[in-house]
């Protein structure tokens, strides 16, 4: 089992819809969880971090964490074509807070 | 704004060459990381450093070494480049839990 797994893509949603991205992780000791967005040809940029169970909202983005189920998700409301990118789930491990990344989900928002 | 820079955006080298990839951050971060990114595999950690002259192996260190002589600079070294090291290489530095990435170096080994 991979340490961090993301739902297989690619994912296409129409403009204005809700995009749902999912991620599971294997290490029950993981404490910090992140969603990065990566546009084609660019480097990843952090869009959300979440540390405790429940929901965390930031604008159109909501991260959800369920540590008992080892599950973290990202909801994008009112999806825009500019949201089209690859979304990477990442989990912290180790004393230097190194990250383990999932393989990413490619999202396309259709106008 | 945090700035992480990498020495080259694109690099083409021949098999057997020694390759240096350099990364510089301007925010006095303790921790720095080198990843490679390949289609379908995501980002994989090669090496990281938590202080000057300190380094730790990541998940795929074989064929690589690193150097950190100054806090702001972290170098990745391919001692003898091979074609399976053709990849996108990303450097990152971190403050608290946020990793800031450089623009990446796309390395092609012929």
pLDDT of residue B2: 67
CA dist., res. B55 & res. B40, Å (int): 27
pLDDT of residue B97: 76
Is B45 within 8 Å of A98 when comparing Cβ atoms?
A: yes
pLDDT of residue B5: 95
Q: Band the pLDDT of B32: cuts 50, 70, 90.
A: very high
Helix, strand and coil percent figures for chain B, each rounded to 5: 5, 60, 35
pLDDT at A1 over 70: no
Closest-CA distance, B103 to chain A, in angstroms, reads: 5
CA dist., res. A73 & res. A92, Å (int): 16
- Nearest CB among A32, A45, A101 relative to B43 is that of A101
**What are the pLDDT digits (tens) for A68-82?**
999 999 999 999 999
CB atoms within 10 A of CB B65: 14
Token pair of B7 as six digits: 């020495």
Q: Band the pLDDT of A7: cuts 50, 70, 90.
A: confident
Is A43 within 8 Å of B58 when comparing Cβ atoms?
A: no
The span from the first CA to the last CA of chain B, in angstroms, equals: 37
CA angle, corner B3, sides to B88 and A37, nearest 5? 55
**A interface residues, B as partner, C-beta within 8 Å:** 32, 34, 42-46, 49, 88, 92, 95-104
Instruction: State residue A81 phi and psi, 5-degree precision.
Output: -55, -30
């Amino acid at each position: 089992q991979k340490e961090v797994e993301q739902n297989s893509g690619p994912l296409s949603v129409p403009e204005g819809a809700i995009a749902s991205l999912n991620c599971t992780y294997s290490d029950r000791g993981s404490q910090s969880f992140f969603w990065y967005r990566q546009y084609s040809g660019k480097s990843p940029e952090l869009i959300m971090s979440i540390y405790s169970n429940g929901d965390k909202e930031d604008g159109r983005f909501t991260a959800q964490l369920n540590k008992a189920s080892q599950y973290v998700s990202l909801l994008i409301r009112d999806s825009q074509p500019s949201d089209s990118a690859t979304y990477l789930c990442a989990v912290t491990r180790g004393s230097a807070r190194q990250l383990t990344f999932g393989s990413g989900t490619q999202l396309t928002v259709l106008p | 704004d945090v700035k992480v820079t990498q020495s080259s955006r694109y690099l083409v080298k021949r098999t057997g060459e020694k390759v240096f990839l350099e990364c510089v951050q301007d925010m006095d971060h303790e921790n720095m990381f080198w990843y490679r990114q390949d289609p379908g595999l995501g980002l994989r950690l090669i090496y990281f450093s938590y202080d000057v002259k300190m380094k730790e192996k990541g998940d795929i260190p074989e064929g690589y070494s690193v150097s950190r002589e100054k806090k702001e600079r972290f170098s990745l070294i391919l001692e003898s480049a091979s074609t399976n090291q053709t990849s996108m290489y990303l450097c990152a530095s971190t403050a608290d839990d946020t990793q800031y990435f450089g623009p990446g170096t796309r390395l092609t080994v012929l």
